């Protein structure tokens, strides 16, 4: 747990320069050595960013000049929310270094494009240990760009770190999620698409919202919902049998799912397009819930609800989208309890 300086021993205030706020005196070096706060400067000084100043005011007895906060909020309206994200990790004892500070303190350390901070676990040595995670923070109403989020998560994961997103709500409450590129794969028999095309004339029904296949026509287990009289195929499955043009991407996505030897079934009960099985239904539960990008949440508040629901039924929530004509999947998950950085004020 983060600890402040001895009660009554105030430090500061800081003096502004072109790069931030400078703290002078013995406390400056202690703040960096013990907590990794700021950037050390010559003459026993420490350069702080506004969120670090506010954090130190709350937890390190750092004095602030009169009207400092109101003036800073004019410059950065989200300073309080950024500080809430910083507090959520630092108060439990994690060591957090802002990304811009990392590049100046340790130029050889690689920081992924778009990261706000790097996190070291409380038991790790900041100078010799490896960062456990890279972090971004967002407001709950902010829109999600799934392709960009995937690229960031892929870069972070390639560096052996956890990609963490801290979502800050209007009450300064913080919720933590992890994002990582996923490669869902099953163990179902491979499907011969040419054989499927041969069964297309046997479909019964209007076909616009699905069709029926009599039981005397054999289809792979991955295709259709079993009924006593045969199988019901949804619209996308019908289009695959028709070898139809892929107008909105869903047929292409279903083909990719089948190529991965997964067994797809409706995810309606879970608020997604599909639930995905590795093996036959009955042998195990579906590990994944998949939502195409065009049906996926548009902001972080919606995404949190979707991922929380998936977590509650012990499944992984996936968003599927194309990058350079290749289907990619991004998992959004709640971390284990010991890694859930939340606003300590709530």
Selection from 288, 248, 244, 249 nearest residue 265 by Cα: 288
Q: Which two tokens stand for residue 61?
A: 């007895």
Instruction: Report the greatest alpha carbon distance in the chain.
Output: 86
Residue 4 has pLDDT above 60, yes or no: no
Mean pLDDT of the chain: 92
Give the start-to-end residue ranges of the domains of the chain.
11-76
Segment 186-207 mean pLDDT: 89
Residue 58 has pLDDT above 70, yes or no: yes
Collapsed DSSP state (helix, strand, coil) of residue 240: helix
Segment 180-196 mean pLDDT: 93
pLDDT of residue 247: 66
pTM: 0.90
Q: Which two tokens stand for residue 42?
A: 């010559």
11 or 140, which is more confident: 140
User: Which segment, 21-30, 62-71, 305-314, is predicted with the most confidence on average?
Assistant: 305-314
Segment 171-191 mean pLDDT: 96
The strands making up 225-227's β-sheet, listed across from edge to edge, are 211-214, 230-233, 225-227
CA distances from 209 to 232, 237, 238, 266 (A): 11, 10, 9, 14
State percent of the chain over pLDDT 70: 96
CA distance 152 to 47: 28
* CB-based burial label for 337 (10 Å; 0-12, 13-18, 19+): exposed
Query: Quick count: other Cβ atoms within 10 Å of Cβ 209?
Result: 9
The DSSP output letter for 15 is E
Q: At what angle do helices 50-59 and 79-90 cross, to 10 degrees?
A: 60
pLDDT of residue 8: 52
Confidence of residue 13 (pLDDT cuts 50, 70, 90): confident
CA distance 13 to 54: 11
């Amino acid at each position: 747990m983060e600890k402040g300086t001895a009660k009554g021993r105030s430090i500061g205030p800081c003096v502004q320069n072109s790069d931030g706020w400078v703290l002078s005196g013995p406390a400056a070096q202690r703040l960096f050595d013990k907590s990794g706060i700021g950037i050390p400067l010559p003459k026993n000084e420490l350069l702080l960013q506004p969120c670090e100043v506010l954090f130190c005011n709350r937890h390190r007895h750092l004095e602030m000049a009169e009207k400092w906060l109101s003036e800073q909020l004019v410059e950065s309206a989200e300073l309080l929310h950024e500080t809430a994200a910083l507090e959520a990790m630092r108060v439990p004892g994690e060591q957090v270094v802002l990304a811009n500070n990392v590049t100046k303190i340790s130029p050889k350390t690689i920081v992924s494009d778009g990261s706000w901070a790097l996190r070291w676990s409380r038991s790790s040595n900041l100078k010799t240990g490896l960062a456990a995670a890279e972090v971004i923070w967002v407001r709950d109403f902010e829109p999600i760009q799934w392709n960009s989020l995937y690229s960031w998560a892929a870069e972070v994961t390639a560096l052996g770190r956890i990609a963490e997103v801290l979502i800050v709500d209007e009450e300064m409450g913080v919720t933590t999620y992890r994002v990582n590129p996923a490669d869902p794969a099953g163990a179902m028999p491979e499907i011969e698409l040419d054989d499927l095309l041969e069964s297309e004339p046997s479909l019964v029904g209007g076909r616009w919202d699905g069709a029926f296949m009599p039981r005397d026509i054999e289809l792979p287990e991955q295709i259709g919902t079993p009924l006593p009289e045969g199988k019901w195929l949804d619209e996308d499955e019908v289009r695959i049998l028709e070898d139809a043009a892929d107008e909105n991407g869903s047929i292409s996505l279903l083909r990719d799912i089948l190529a991965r030897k997964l067994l797809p079934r409706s995810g309606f009960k879970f608020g997604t397009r599909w639930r995905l099985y590795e093996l036959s239904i009955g042998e195990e539960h579906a590990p994944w819930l998949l939502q195409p990008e065009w049906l996926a949440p548009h902001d972080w508040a919606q995404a949190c609800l979707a991922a929380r629901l998936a977590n509650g039924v012990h499944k992984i929530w996936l968003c599927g989208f194309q990058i350079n004509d290749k289907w990619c999947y991004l998992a959004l998950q709640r971390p284990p309890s010991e890694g859930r950085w939340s606003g300590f004020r709530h």
